[in-house]
Amino acid sequence: FTEKLRGNVYQSFWDGFTFEYIDFSDITTYQLLKFKAIFNNNSKLKIITQSNHNKVFLKKIFNIDSDRVIVALNGSPNYREYKIKKLLDRKNIIDLWGFKSVNKNNYFEFVQAYKLELENKARLYRLTQKTDKDTKILMVSTQYRVYKGFEQLFRLIDSMLADRKLVFIFTAKIPKHIRSKYDYLMDNIFEIVRVSNKQHALLYQLSNLALHPSFAEGGHGSYPQFESASLDVPCLTQRGRHTKEMNKLHNNELDDIFCDFANITSSKSKIYNLLDDEG
């Protein structure tokens, strides 16, 4: 009933991706009705959003006057409090991992959450057995959505594994249509999901490089860029309007950390340069 509120009301708007991709059409009818009711029923309403490209979206698509939209850029996630001095070796990660706090409403939910904790730890153990000192670890920290670029990333992974000893940590479950197409890659893929902040930070520190393949994000840049940077781990990000806005804020000095993962030759060159540069 938020559309019935009167007076000074502030509505948060993260992005318009559900309207931009047909895969979300089952929920956009509800969202359209809800947004229209909220936006039109209160002349004092202000909308807070996380980027200038969202502000333009609201103007062009919902015909919202620009003076009603306030841009508040995302804060940068900071994992520095979880930074450890040095992983003595990769097998040490199991001893540092610990367990995420599990607090559920009933026994069945508790067992499911506890099972996930054991599965994550077991997959991490499998990773320690799969790698040696010459193996590089790349981390992909995002959930799966149609605009997240997983399909083109897997084409790139398929090409890279012919050249290098690499393994990949995903914080998302790989969807069935990708898994069935690239089932021969799955021994090099480690899905470690729903982790705590401390565990998430450990995965970054275990990795040599973070990759973020998303075609679009609602803010400027992407969270993995900030998270990995706070732990001194490089991140390579797919170009999009989110990176364009971020680059503009930094006088176009950030081009080296953006790429087009669909361009396999160029992307491999950037990735290998980052993996081989100890600095």
Residue with tokens 């904790």: 117
Task: Provide the 3-class DSSP secondary structure of residue 69.
Answer: strand
Confidence of residue 43 (pLDDT cuts 50, 70, 90): confident
* 102 has a pLDDT exceeding 90: no
* 149 has a pLDDT exceeding 70: yes
Tens of pLDDT, residue by residue over 161-206, are: 999 999 999 999 999 999 999 999 999 999 999 999 999 999 999 9
Burial of 241-271, coded b for 16+ CB within 10 Å and e otherwise, reads: bbbebbbeeeeeebeebbbebbeeeebbebb
Tens of pLDDT, residue by residue over 223-263, are: 999 999 999 999 999 999 999 999 998 899 998 899 999 99
